[in-house]
Structure 1
């Protein structure tokens, strides 16, 4: 039997219990149903598979990573390719390539999918590059029969990766938490130059323990970096900027020369536990810095105190990118003390029409076992909760907007969180419609 099975559900649930909590239209958490959600968001499709991690979009195609946290998960780890139907945004599974990886972050470089390999020990069943750490190149010219065709070995492997528009380059986010003396920096992989054996350049951060073994990034910030490497890298291609969320800080880079990014600004915030991700709004004047509370290791405490700076998204005015100004933060307003994991995770920004035709700045974020949340930050000094969807058993790793729909990836079951095997059908890709958000 195929490991794929399609699962659809739309829940209509009483809204009484949470009106008093300030979320009118939210579903009652006291009822027997396994889903709570606001009335302005609806589930329209669920393509179920275990261990769903990152998502990446390329026209009508979607690449969905599937991470492996232990040996038993390796048969289900790799990259799924799905076809998106334009009419309703639902997905059709096309193929699965079993190239196991711990994280399995994914992105598109033209017809190729790039996949992260954080650990050589989890990279055991796919050539080339078996047993190595770095970035796999998958040829998806025929999305029903993808082929692993290349591998780029990188310093510290690959935790997350970001394709840099149509340059053919990939920025690799990786680091070594266990060795303070390890080199800190970013690898740039030129997939377009040679997909089968991509050239790799490592740029070292000009920090206090720079090794001198590698070319250093130019630092125009006036501040010495403390980051051990990027955890994830967001882009604003229209303004030639990249944003390195680097555990201890977030850097703003000038990427007008994408092979030679320069550090222009460094943001530090004592209330941010882990600089996990950074993205901008469409206008490029508001930067969102995401805090993965205690690196997820302590995320069971992330929702104990609602509206407090734990597991939050911070909003910065970067209309002057040399002088970012913190405006506010948002965290999930509903306490959830029983959740094993509760902190913001991968997220994406988008616009929706507002009053008088003015655009509204929105962000959708995964929140592990606390569901998928949508926040209106049109006023970055006063962000407001707009919608949420929280089904029992799901563990949302990533949530992104794409062409009028919201897509979220769940990695249930996973030994990382102790999720029970009977929740296997809660993994995979979930498709949502949001009132007012259309292609």
Structure 2
């Protein structure tokens, strides 16, 4: 493991609020925003994370720190002053994907590319190697300037994403989502209609181990729908809502609701499909749990799908009503409400599609901030789930006006008064929305935030 510490670089990118009209593509690297949004800062990728192939990925938050995943490891940012974020340390530990969760002094890190063994620095190997490692690595970040590798847990087909499910007894459970099995992969055999659950005793994380491998699709998932990027073989991502004992799974060809009242035995209680969806990617509940928003990663995140040709109903969000409630005898059902698609067309050299986001905790309201890769970041009013609308945005122009270069906002989340966007190529962006509709959100302060472990806003919480 390589730890690079004490790097304190932040820059504020020149921006022109509202400079590009909704139907105008900004110039290369030009930053534009709506009039009610300010681009406070940008921290470029550094060192071993700076190359084009070292994608920045997901984010998690603890106290005054953001944890940023990268295909080569993770970065810890000091965000105590959001206008001047600083890199505290970088952990070089290759493995691809780099989905992160944080729990106290522990960071969980997803490894989805096979390595020779579980250690940082181990070389890449073929998935046909029976000794190859993929799964979840665990780090101790009690010293933010000097994180320490603790242990790792191998999971079948690796860990494309992982979701923290906090336990009540000093135990964390991690739902590991993975896919793409093959008969030639010893550690990723079909059928792969399951997830892996890792149990982590927080006082002894080195003893973390697989606690279950529940099969979510005992009769098989959606394999036959025309236009699917991949058939349902496992899940891509899961968002849990622990206070409501419910989870939403985005499972490639299927969207599912799960009862997680027993976190070791999640049970699929509702399942939907959509002819307009090519790849069910991620999910977010409204605060009252009465709606859930699923995203469709049409083109796998590498294609230009935010253009007039693709249209407004593909590569979009699908919003569903959740009718019923776990444990009441009236089990939840999903009813389609509407689609939402980024309203500004993007260039044909920009990969753009619906991606990761989170709620903005406005009392009694539902506002959502979402990444769209090179489509940028959008703030969406979800209060009428049948008529969602954008109320603010941030975007850069294409990385190139002649060829496709994969980039843009992988994840955009609201945390303690600001929006943080993990840009694949450009690093960490910090945004501030100034809009009267979002009043009250600034009074909500979380000590820890993992967007796929969705907290419920409670009045008076500070």
Is TM-score (shorter-chain normalized) higher than 0.5?
A: yes
Post-superposition offset of 1:141? 1.0
SS at match of 1:6: coil
- Count, aligned residues: 386
- The question of whether the paired residues in 1 share the 8 Å contact of 2:18 and 2:33 is answered with no
Post-superposition offset of 1:33? 7.5
* Aligned position for 1:24: none
Matches within 5 A, 1:308-327: 308-320=312-324, 322-327=332-337
SS at match of 1:120: strand
Matches within 5 A, 1:138-149: 138-149=139-150
Superimposed CA distance per residue, residues 265-292 of structure 1 (whole angstroms, 9 cap, x where no aligned partner): 1121121111000110111111001100
SS at match of 1:12: strand
Post-superposition offset of 1:161? 0.5
* Aligned position for 2:348: 338
Instruction: Find the aligned partners of 2:323 and 2:74 in 1 and give their Cα distance.
Output: 38
SS at match of 1:295: helix
* Aligned position for 1:169: 173
Instruction: Find the aligned partners of 1:368 and 1:100 in 2 and give their Cα distance.
Output: 22
* Aligned position for 1:396: 409
SS at match of 2:287: coil
Superimposed CA distance per residue, residues 387-411 of structure 1 (whole angstroms, 9 cap, x where no aligned partner): 1111133511111111121111011
* Aligned position for 2:194: 185
Instruction: Find the aligned partners of 1:123 and 1:56 in 2 and give their Cα distance.
Output: 26
Post-superposition offset of 1:342? 1.0
Instruction: Find the aligned partners of 1:123 and 1:270 in 2 and give their Cα distance.
Output: 41
The answer as to 2:167 corresponding to 1:157 is: no
Instruction: Find the aligned partners of 2:344 and 2:143 in 1 and give their Cα distance.
Output: 44
TM-score computed with the length of structure 2 as normaliser:
0.77
SS at match of 2:365: strand
* Aligned position for 2:56: 52
Instruction: Find the aligned partners of 2:396 and 2:182 in 1 and give their Cα distance.
Output: 35
Q: 2:92 aligns with which of 95, 98, 123?
A: 98
User: How has the CA–CA distance of structure 1 residues 242 and 275 changed in structure 2, closer, same or farther, with 3 Å as cutoff?
Assistant: same
Post-superposition offset of 1:198? 1.1
Instruction: Find the aligned partners of 2:63 and 2:140 in 1 and give their Cα distance.
Output: 16
* Aligned position for 1:247: 252
* Aligned position for 1:207: 218
* Aligned position for 1:431: 430
> Looking at both structures, which has the greater relative contact order when contacts are Cα pairs under 8 Å and sequence separation is at least 6?
2
* Aligned position for 1:261: 266
- The question of whether the paired residues in 2 share the 8 Å contact of 1:233 and 1:244 is answered with yes
User: How has the CA–CA distance of structure 1 residues 337 and 88 changed in structure 2, closer, same or farther, with 3 Å as cutoff?
Assistant: closer
Matches within 5 A, 1:46-85: 46-49=42-45, 50=50, 51-67=55-71, 77-85=72-80
Q: Which runs of 5+ in 2 are unaligned?
A: 125-131, 184-188, 222-230, 326-331, 400-406, 444-462
* Aligned position for 1:420: none
- The question of whether the paired residues in 1 share the 8 Å contact of 2:281 and 2:297 is answered with yes
- The question of whether the paired residues in 1 share the 8 Å contact of 2:182 and 2:190 is answered with no
SS at match of 1:100: coil
Q: Which runs of 5+ in 1 are unaligned?
A: 22-27, 68-76, 211-225, 354-358, 413-425
Superimposed CA distance per residue, residues 4-26 of structure 1 (whole angstroms, 9 cap, x where no aligned partner): 732212423564x627x5xxxxx
SS at match of 2:346: coil
* Aligned position for 1:70: none
* Aligned position for 2:205: 195
SS at match of 2:390: strand
TM-score computed with the length of structure 1 as normaliser:
0.81
Instruction: Find the aligned partners of 1:120 and 1:31 in 2 and give their Cα distance.
Output: 38
> Alpha carbon RMSD of aligned pairs, Å?
2.7
SS at match of 2:261: coil
Q: 2:110 aligns with which of 108, 113, 116?
A: 116
SS at match of 1:157: coil
Instruction: Find the aligned partners of 2:278 and 2:148 in 1 and give their Cα distance.
Output: 39
